[in-house]
Amino acid sequence: MANSSNELSGVGEAMQESLQCVEIAVYGKGGIGKSTVAANLSAALAFEGRRVLQIGCDPKHDSTRALMGGRNIPTVLDYLRDTPKEQATVEGILHEGSFGVGCVEAGGPKPGVGCAGRGIISAFEFLDRNRVKEGYDTIVYDVLGDVVCGGFAVPIRSEYADAIFLVTSGEYMALYAANNILRGIRNYDGDDRCRVAGIVFNERNLPDEKLRVERFAQATGLPIVVRIPRSPLFAEAERLNCTIMELAGRHPERDLFREFAQRVASGLDLRAANPLSDEELERCILYGEAPASGGAIHCGEASSEGAPADEGAPCVKCTSGASEVPAKMNEISDVQSDGSFQKAPTRRPALYGCAFNGAATTAIHLTDAVVIAHSPRACAFYTWQNISSPGRKNLFHRGVLMPSAISPNLECTQIDSHEAVFGGTDKLRRHVQEAVARKPGAVIVISSCVSGIIGDDVLSVERLSTPQTPVIVIAADGDIAGDYMEGIRMCLHEVAEALVDPSAAPKPNSVNLIGETGVANDLEINFDIFAELLGRMGISVNCRFMGNATADEVRNLAAAPLNILASDGQDNRELKEWLVSRYGLHFLDSCVPIGFNETRRFLEAVGSHFGCEDKVAPIVADEQERFESELAALRPQLAGKRVVITTINVNLDWLLDAVSSAGMEVAWIGVLNYLHRDLGITALPDKYPFIEPIVSFSEATARIEELKPDIVVSNFAFAVPPGDYIIDNMPMVQQVGFHSGIETLNRWVRLQQNEKQGIWIHDKELFEKYFA
């Protein structure tokens, strides 16, 4: 534990010799009188010959009013808001007050908008950049202490305040705020630094007030540096717009601040911050219970009057029994036999991207909507890249067009430092009004971390909806609402709630496709295959929710008599349950099929539902003929080849059927249980007894080196050892329909035939054709 003094003791004398600058922060609850204390202390220090700069760090911007003769000076934030950056100068924000005290007000946004803490940070950055503190030997920061957030804590960071005073009365909430400030200091300093100068007791003449403050001082090991009596002289000085130091005549209050200033100038005995818990504070202040250590809260620290505590007394923080510690640790950890502890595993799944990104990549598939990212430009840019990268890749490499990915309907309000301080709701409102005027099918607003943190009222723009253009707000707040998948869920729910008409007129012989993967290379190819198969049975697709769809198509979602999941993932199953409970939608038991046998069973189920079973057999016969023809061409090149498969736990019957039909041998299947459920690789596990779970990539590497296969195929990335075999990566979203397996076998044959230059040599032709 740190002792009661450190190298900063006597800092005033050292400063006077070296002309270094001492920086003092005055913290306290709003309305406790800290601005009065700060202004009078600055005046007294200047009266004693110090060159003083006072910086007000309260959005009320009245810290320097008494020093400025009642005049409100322009704040740094207002000045920066109204002045071009290249024209901003120190003279615009630095003003001279009584006794030559330099006066600066940081300022803040209007009440209820923006982030005052971020404003303090921006103001300090400007002051540092322009070296405003040069020429002063004493800096006094007057800081709001009700909320010790990152912004208001700037003055107590190590590069600013050398000494910190806590202004309080005997009121419980004033002492609560003082204790909270100690917590903030403790977060920065730990046990290593001593920067708390003590308590400024601003008396309110309350019952037992003196005893309350003394108990708090004793419990936290801090001295009461000065007691300021409740005096009508302060009200008189306020009426005259001046400090106590400027009043005519001799007054005890004036002498009190001169003595305070002299004490500051001659050196301060600084202490570590030792805040109380909420329970300790309540017992100490409200119930008058003595500290558990009998006053020796911290080794060598002072009593309320500044006298050192008995150094021989036991220190409650140093000598508390070891048996007490594990009880607290158990709340967050597992205590080991050696007394160490391990952090308990979190129950919350890892964040795979943020909710903002997930919502945006889903929302852009409402093709006639305007999607507005209420975010900094960089957030929207990264999301745009995430959306458009597969589109560019497919167009330039495969000649496949993905309209929503090539040119996503994504716009951005471009929140900058100005909105981060003053709030971005007005800017968002203007952007939404302009978008609504274009009369799109909908306007979708998605909030980012920044807008969530500064408290922008994004939901208010829903009032800008028109009968033609609803405004849909997804309050993702970056990753505050959750991860990427949570963003998708939020988007689907909010869009459905805003658009779906439960009473839509029935549309016979139609289906909805539910839960397509938003960013996938085969998204449009798979939809075309799906729609073509159903079209051959006389069935149309009513709505893709949310593949590419219009607002009207989503509005008529309930018109289709049957709904089909695009895939059988957990998120899609939850979406299905919600749509069933919310709108009474009916779902097919199976999802969009992959592979020949699964596609046959799927068409039979759809045919049974719509009463067109007779149309299934001819389709299956045609596809069987094509399947056998292509397989016959592939079998001579693949028969006898040995395959090793490494996979996450998804069904691969479509691939295993194709491999078996081609006369190939599956040597081993290693399953990484990425999805934390039953392995579920095949419906025929007895046929493949060599399916084994793996827990590390090294296991897969070892088996590949041992088995020496001809082909290694995987749907997750790992460093495959070098060898004389083909390596193929299965896409996470497979091509659907009868020929999924055949397409994979074709790819393996092409890989065997390729020269080292590969088929990518044709990319140049596609790039030159489509690049604009």
**CA separation for the pair 772, 761 (Å, rounded):** 20
Q: Check residues 392 and 373 and name the one with the higher pLDDT.
A: 373
pLDDT band at 12 (very low <50, low <70, confident <90, very high): very low
Residue 589 DSSP label: S
Predicted confidence at residue 715, as pLDDT, reads 83
At residue 115, the pLDDT reads 81
Q: Does the pLDDT at position 443 exceed 80? A: yes
- Catalytic choice (29, 427, 576, 641): 29
Position with higher pLDDT, 308 vs 415: 415
Dihedral over Cα of 35, 38, 44, 45: its sign: negative
Whole-number pLDDT of residue 348: 39
Longest dimension (CA), the chain: 112
What pLDDT sits at residue 487? 94
Residue 743 makes CB contacts below 8 A (sequence gap 6+) with: 735
Residue with tokens 């910086």: 55
Q: What is the rounded average pLDDT of the residues 135-153?
A: 81
Query: Cα separations (Å) of 248 from 240, 262, 468?
Result: 12, 21, 71
Work out the mean pLDDT of the chain and round it to a whole number: 84
Query: Higher confidence at residue 255 or residue 333?
Result: 255
Return the pLDDT at 223: 95
Section 462-477 average pLDDT? 96
Q: Identify whether 60 is a catalytic site residue.
A: yes
Close Cβ partners of 52 (under 8 Å, ≥ 6 residues apart): 42, 45, 46, 99, 100, 101, 102, 136, 137, 138, 139, 140
- Confidence (pLDDT) at 676: 56
- What is the β-pairing status of strands 102-105 and 95-96? antiparallel
DSSP string, 514-543: E---SS-TTHHHHHHHHHHHHHTTT-EEEE
pLDDT score of 90: 92
CA 199 to chain centre: 37
219 residue type, one letter: A
Q: pLDDT (tens digit, 9 = 90+) per residue, 592-609?
A: 999 999 999 999 999 999
Sign, Cα dihedral of 8, 13, 19, 25: positive
Secondary structure of 675-701 in HEC code, one letter for each residue = CCCCCCCCCCHHHCCCEEEECCHHHHH
Q: What is the CA radius of gyration of the chain?
A: 36
Per-residue pLDDT at 651 exceeds 70: yes
pLDDT at residue 225 is higher than 50: yes
DSSP letter (8 states) at residue 594: B
Q: What is the mean pLDDT of residues 361-373?
A: 95
Amino acid symbol at 202: N
628 CB-near residues (< 8 Å, 6+ apart): none
Confidence of residue 719 (pLDDT cuts 50, 70, 90): confident
High-pLDDT (> 70) share of the chain, %: 83
For CA atoms 220, 226, 231, 233, give the dihedral sign: negative
Whether 29 is catalytic is yes
Stretch among 122-131, 381-390, 455-464, 571-580 having the lowest mean pLDDT = 381-390
* Tokens of residue 544, six digits: 């893709």
What pLDDT shows up at residue 402? 55
Cα–Cα nearest to 479, from 359, 355, 374? 355
Share of the chain above pLDDT 90, in %: 57
Q: Where are the alpha helices (DSSP H) in 644-754?
A: 653-661, 697-707, 740-753
Q: Poorest-confidence range of 286-295, 464-473, 647-656, 692-701?
A: 286-295
Mean pLDDT of 168-189: 91
Residue 683 and residue 655 in contact, taking contact as beta carbons nearer than 8 Å? no
Query: What CA–CA distance (Å, rounded) separates 3 from 300?
Result: 6
Is residue 146 part of the annotated active site? The answer reads yes
Instruction: Answer left, alpha or beta for residue 153, where phi above 0 means left and psi between -120 and 50 means alpha.
Output: alpha
638 and 745 Cβ atoms separated by less than 8 Å = yes
- 682-687, Cβ contacts within 8 angstroms, sequence gap of 24 or more: 682/651, 682/652, 682/653, 682/656, 683/651, 683/653, 684/653
Q: Which residues contact 753 (CB under 8 A, 6 or more apart)?
A: none
Q: For residue 698, is pLDDT > 80?
A: yes
The angle subtended at Cα 247 by Cα 241 and Cα 250, nearest 5°, is: 160
pLDDT > 60? residue 464: yes
User: Which whole number is the average pLDDT over 289-298?
Assistant: 48
**How far apart, in whole angstroms, are the C-alpha atoms of residue 123 and residue 80?**
9
Has residue 353 got a pLDDT over 80? yes
Buried b (16+ CB within 10 A) or exposed e, 462-489: eebbeeebbbbbbbbbbbbbbbbbbbbb
pLDDT of residue 326: 28
Total Cβ atoms within 10 A of residue 181:
29
Q: Residue type for 90, please? A: V
pLDDT tens-place string over residues 509-535 = 999 999 998 777 788 889 999 999 999
- C-alpha 642/C-alpha 656 separation (Å) is 12
684 pLDDT exceeds 90?
no
pLDDT of 301 higher than 60 = no
With a cut of 70, say whether residue 60 has pLDDT above it. yes
Task: Say yes or no to pLDDT of 6 above 50.
Answer: no
Task: Give 674's Cβ-side CA count (13 Å radius).
Answer: 15
Highest mean pLDDT pick, 118-122, 707-711, 729-733:
707-711
Between 589 and 148, the higher pLDDT residue: 589
Q: Are β-strands 333-335 and 341-343 bridged in parallel, bridged antiparallel, or unpaired?
A: antiparallel
Q: Are 385 and 496 in contact (CB under 8 A)?
A: no
Q: Is the pLDDT of residue 360 over 70?
A: yes
In the three-class reduction of DSSP (H, G, I as helix; E, B as strand; rest coil), residue 442 is classed as strand
Of 137, 142, 146, 657, the active-site residue reads 146
C-alpha dihedral (73, 75, 80, 84), degrees to nearest 10: -10
Tokens of 463: 């009032």
Q: Residue 318's pLDDT is what? A: 32
Q: Residue 239: what residue type? A: R
Of 221-225, 426-430, 697-701, give the lowest mean pLDDT range: 697-701
**pLDDT for residue 768:** 67
Active site residue 708: no
Residue 682: which region, alpha, beta or left (left: phi > 0; alpha: psi -120 to 50)? beta
More confident call, 371 vs 417: 371
Nearest to 142 by CA among 253, 56, 210, 217: 56
Closest CA to 419 of 389, 453, 391, 386: 453
Taking residue 691's Cβ as centre, other Cβ atoms within 10 Å add up to: 18
Give the per-residue pLDDT at 511: 98
Structure tokens at 50: 């110090």
Highest mean pLDDT among 266-280, 513-527, 679-693: 266-280
pTM above 0.75, yes or no: no
Q: Which two tokens stand for residue 258?
A: 């001169």
Read off φ and ψ for residue 168, nearest 5 degrees. -150, 160
Span of 74-83, 479-488, 686-695 with lowest mean pLDDT: 686-695
What does the pLDDT average to over 627-639? 94
Helix (H, G, I), strand (E, B) or coil at 55: strand
The pLDDT of residue 604: 97
Residue 536 confidence (pLDDT) above 70: yes
Mean pLDDT, range 546-563, rounded to an integer = 96
DSSP one-letter code for 489:
H
Structure tokens, 616: 């299934």
Residue entry with tokens 């007057």: 142
